[in-house]
């Protein structure tokens, strides 16, 4: 006697579960559509949405050992996670009035202390020139300059000023003594991106303290122009440590960082290089949104720890960092496009207190996103925008796809209702009672 009743309840439960699942799928599609069109950047002057909450998550993760975990993923993981956190704090602090920067200054100093610690120096060699290599010294010098830039000149810590002056002098002496414009980051290994960061830090020195290094920067630029990658006309990914001759084709992961800093060294050369990079590396694979290739269009190559996996030749890390480079160059359309695309694909989890991407599994990724969203020139004025290469309508295919995803779960139920009405109409036409609607 209970069989029909339980069967009816089972069918009712299945119907409700199906509706709930369909509603969840539709809600996710709607959220994705909102993320694709809602403002996710704020340019060089305003605070980007969600970044303060991102930094709250990153700091909590660092306190729980995320730096050590990042070190297990790649050789500079500990250093980079702390450096990017500190730099993003500086970027936010620069957007605040001078009297309201205490929190940003405290956090940036905390991160700088971690870079100068034994753990921060551990992967690097003290025997290099300058000691610990251009990667460590360049990024540290840039962050230290940022800490000083947050403070009025009269309120700066004299010890921090002396340290910036000393480290800048060591970097300049190494560049001046080198045949190559690209100093070693590790023994026998040189990456042009590292020297670009270091040279930008010398330009920053000259805006904060009495200028000393214009000649060093001019010589460096001449050396760079003479050693561009012949296949792309860009700075190479890797160079011969003795001569600076290109040793590997320009790649998206290093180019995205180079174009973040080159504008503060020579804006005209930076614009020329940026447009060349944008033309050869930025595309819309399958027509589904902007992304950055690891290798130039028409060329493929292996993935590595820097690039991550390369689906369709695209580097996710290069795409994230290029959003910051685009913002620095005034390329608003590309910066917004890459950031909105990341908001859709990055699966951000928002709470009133924190924001994290990919469920917070890789805080180093969150740090790159925060650093990119807060991008702005530190030395030069914001350049005039380049000709746009991306229109708003790139979103249309993805919005269409999301609309299909939102509607598709409801199609079976709608089809069943349609069939039920047709059967009922057929029964009325011949004078028979209408059949009971099918369950489910």
pTM over 0.85, yes/no: yes
Task: Give tens-digit pLDDT for 230-280.
Answer: 999 999 999 999 999 999 999 999 999 999 999 999 999 999 999 999 999
Q: What is the 8-class DSSP label of residue 48?
A: P
Residue 159 CB-density burial (10 A; 0-12 exposed, 13-18 middle, 19+ buried): exposed
Residue 42 CB-density burial (10 A; 0-12 exposed, 13-18 middle, 19+ buried): middle
Task: Give tens-digit pLDDT for 47-88.
Answer: 999 999 999 999 999 999 999 999 998 889 999 999 999 999
Task: Give tens-digit pLDDT for 278-312.
Answer: 999 999 999 889 999 999 999 999 999 889 899 99
Token representation of residue 222: 């001449």
- The CA distance from 89 to 51, in Å, is 10
pLDDT of residue 411: 82
- The CA distance from 135 to 197, in Å, is 8
Q: Peptide bond preceding 130: is omega within 30 degrees of 0, i.e. cis?
A: yes
pLDDT of residue 89: 98
3-state secondary structure of 281: helix
- Identify each DSSP E strand in 289-336 by its residue range: 291-292
pLDDT of residue 5: 60
Residue 137, C-beta contacts closer than 8 angstroms, at least 6 positions apart = 130, 131, 167, 170, 171, 198
Q: Could you identify the residue written with the tokens 């190494």?
A: 174
pLDDT of 12 above 70: no
Contact at 8 Å (CB) between 103 and 386?
no
The most distant pair of C-alpha atoms in the chain lies apart, rounded to whole Å, by 101
Q: What is the 8-class DSSP label of residue 211?
A: -
Strand partners, 283: 291
| Average pLDDT of every residue of the chain | 92
Cβ neighbour number for residue 248 with a 10 Å cutoff = 14
pLDDT of 440 above 50: no
Contact at 8 Å (CB) between 74 and 45?
no
Report the interhelical angle of 395-407 vs 2-37 (nearest 10°): 170
Token representation of residue 20: 């709930």
- The CA distance from 295 to 154, in Å, is 47
Cβ neighbour number for residue 434 with a 10 Å cutoff = 13
Weakest mean pLDDT among 32-46, 210-224, 419-433: 419-433
Most confident of 19-33, 78-92, 400-414, 425-439: 78-92
Q: Percent of the chain at pLDDT above 90?
A: 80
pLDDT of residue 1: 47
Task: Give tens-digit pLDDT for 103-142.
Answer: 999 999 999 999 999 999 999 999 999 999 999 999 999 9
Task: Give tens-digit pLDDT for 168-221.
Answer: 999 999 999 999 999 999 999 999 999 999 999 999 999 999 999 999 999 999
pLDDT of residue 19: 80
């Amino acid at each position: 006697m209970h069989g029909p009743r339980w069967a009816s309840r089972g069918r009712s439960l299945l119907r409700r579960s199906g509706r709930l699942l369909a509603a969840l799928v539709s809600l996710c599609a709607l959220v994705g559509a909102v993320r694709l069109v809602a403002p996710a950047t704020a340019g060089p002057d305003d605070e980007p949405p969600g970044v303060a909450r991102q930094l709250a998550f990153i700091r909590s993760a660092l306190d729980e050992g995320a730096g050590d975990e990042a070190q297990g993923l790649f050789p500079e993981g500990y250093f980079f996670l702390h450096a990017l956190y500190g730099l993003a704090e500086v970027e936010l602090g620069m957007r605040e009035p001078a009297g309201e920067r205490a929190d940003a200054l405290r956090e940036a100093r905390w991160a700088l202390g971690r870079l100068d610690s034994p753990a921060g120096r551990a992967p690097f060699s003290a025997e290099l020139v300058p000691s610990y290599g251009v990667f460590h010294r360049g990024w540290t010098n840039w962050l230290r300059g940022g800490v000083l830039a947050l403070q009025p000149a009269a309120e700066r810590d004299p010890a921090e000023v002396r340290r910036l002056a000393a480290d800048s002098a060591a970097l300049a002496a190494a560049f001046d003594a080198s045949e190559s414009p690209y100093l070693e980051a590790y023994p026998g290994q040189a990456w042009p991106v590292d020297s670009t960061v270091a040279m930008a830090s010398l330009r920053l020195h000259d805006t904060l303290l009495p200028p000393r290094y214009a000649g060093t920067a001019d010589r460096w630029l001449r050396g760079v122009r003479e050693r561009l990658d012949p296949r792309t006309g860009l700075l190479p990914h890797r160079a011969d440590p003795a001569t600076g001759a290109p040793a590997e084709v320009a790649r998206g992961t290093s180019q995205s960082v180079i174009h973040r800093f080159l504008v503060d060294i020579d804006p005209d050369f930076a614009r020329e290089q940026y447009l060349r990079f944008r033309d050869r590396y930025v595309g819309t694979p399958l027509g589904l949104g902007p992304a950055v290739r690891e290798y130039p269009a028409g060329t493929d190559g292996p993935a590595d720890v820097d690039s991550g996996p390369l689906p369709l030749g695209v580097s996710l890390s290069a795409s994230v960092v290029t959003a910051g480079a685009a913002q620095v160059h005034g390329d608003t359309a590309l910066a917004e496009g890459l950031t909105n695309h990341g908001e859709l694909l990055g699966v951000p989890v928002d709470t009133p207190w924190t924001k994290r991407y990919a469920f917070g599994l890789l805080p180093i990724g969150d740090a790159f996103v925060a650093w990119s969203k807060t991008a702005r020139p530190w030395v030069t004025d914001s350049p005039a925008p380049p000709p746009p290469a991306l229109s708003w309508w790139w979103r249309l295919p993805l919005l269409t796809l999301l609309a299909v995803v939102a509607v598709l779960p409801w199609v079976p139920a709608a089809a069943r209702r349609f069939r039920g009405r047709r059967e009922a109409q057929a029964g009325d036409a011949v004078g028979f009672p209408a059949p009971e609607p099918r369950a489910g």
